[in-house]
Amino acid sequence: MAHHELPSTPDNVHWGYFEAARAPVLTIASGDIVDIDCLSGEPEDMPAADQGFEVLAEHVAVHEQCERGPGPHFMTGPIAVDGAAPGDVLEVRIRDIRPRVDWGWNIIEPLLGTLPEDFPEQRRLHIGIDRAAGVAKLPWGRDLPLRPFFGVMGVAPPPAWGRVSSVQPRAHGGNMDNKELVAETTLYLPVWNPGALFSAGDGHGVQGDGEVCLTALETCLSGTLEFILRKDLSLTMPRAETPTHYLTMGMNEDLDDAAKQALREMIVLIRERTNLGPEDAYTLCSLAADMRITQLVDGNKGVHTMLAKDMIA
């Protein structure tokens, strides 16, 4: 096992897109650990100098030197895993996630979000972060406990897709915005290319299910991730697990279809781990699983199904 560091310098960051043709910036072995730094915020999202917030020098350098893609997210990577091949699964164990700066931002954008007809004007709000206390300092006087996670984690998509925007989550992962993917959880991603080509970014200090106004508390994060190549698994959609729950995911422009996909994936998971037939697995989901709206604002809406592990132990 080796331990690597991957800073968010211009050479290591891609802005707004995923693409199978992008060369890896780091190659590791299965079982290796990577400390990865990530950025969040395009030039227009930066706080004014008189607000007194810390802006990282590499954040400015990325703005100046990186090619701007179709999406707003900065992803650090790709990381290639030796031996990974299409059809494998990449297991990503999230050991730790921590804020890098003392601020984050949230935006309401015309024509976007869940209620664009109700909120037609842009508002960009900068919010202080007390890293020592682990809270966001909301401007109306409340402290909100942080629960940081990477909104974007994914492998490179199938080569036939070409360059795709970072906005829409898809089968390769990407902008899933799943608030359950905090430290001590594990993400499973289907591999579509040699090396898998994993990237992460879009740091969120805290988010509610739905991410309704368009963004969470967007901020710069660092994470410690362990990568395990799984040739004994086969998936077509991302999955995850927390210490207590299994998660399956659905992503579709139609919320109903996203929910159906997440539920079907959970029925498959249950049947993989038990001797239950499809009808019994479906019934168990109705009795014990929770259907949650991951996000409503990324083109492809997200739904995740959560089932307590002890239900199928």
With a CB cutoff of 8 Å and minimum separation 6, the contacts of 216 are 106, 151, 177, 179, 204, 205, 206, 207, 208
Whole-angstrom distance, CA of residue 74 vs CA of residue 81: 21
- When pLDDT is averaged across residues 81-92 and rounded to a whole number, the result is 98
pLDDT of residue 261: 98
Q: Could you give the CA distance from residue 85 to residue 229 in angstroms, rounded to a whole number?
A: 9
pLDDT grade for 167, boundaries at 50, 70 and 90: very high
Amino acid identity, residue 53? F
- CATH code that applies to domain 3-239: 2.60.120.580
Task: Give the pLDDT confidence of 44-82 residue by residue, as tens digits.
Answer: 999 999 999 999 999 999 999 999 999 999 999 999 999
The two three-digit tokens of residue 187, written as one number: 């993400």
Distance CA 148, CA 101 (A): 13
Residue 143 CA to chain centroid, in angstroms?
24
pTM value? 0.97
How many Cα atoms are found within 13 Å in the side-chain-facing hemisphere of 198? 33
Instruction: Output helix, strand, coil percentages for the chain, rounded to the nearest 5.
Output: 15, 40, 45
Measured CA to CA, the distance from residue 129 to residue 124 in angstroms comes to: 16
Distance CA 74, CA 69 (A): 10
Spans of all domains in the chain: 3-239, 244-311
Confidence grade of residue 220 (pLDDT, cut at 50, 70, 90): very high
Task: Kindly state the tokens that stand for 189.
Answer: 């991603």
Residue 189 DSSP SS3: strand
- Amino acid identity for residue 162 in this structure: G
* CA atoms within 13 Å, Cβ hemisphere of 228: 11
Is the torsion defined by CA of 7, 200, 94, 192 positive or negative? Answer: negative
DSSP letters of 234-276?
--SS-EEE-SSEEEEEEEESSHHHHHHHHHHHHHHHHHHHS--
Predicted confidence (pLDDT) per residue in 233-264, tens digit: 999 999 999 999 999 999 999 999 999 999 99
Q: What value does the mean pLDDT take over residues 205-231?
A: 98
Average pLDDT estimate for 104-133: 98
Measured distance between the N- and C-terminal CA atoms of the chain, rounded to whole angstroms: 31
Dig out the tokens for 9 from the structure.
């310098």
For the domain covering 244-311, report its CATH number. Answer: 3.10.28.20
pLDDT band at 127 (very low <50, low <70, confident <90, very high): very high
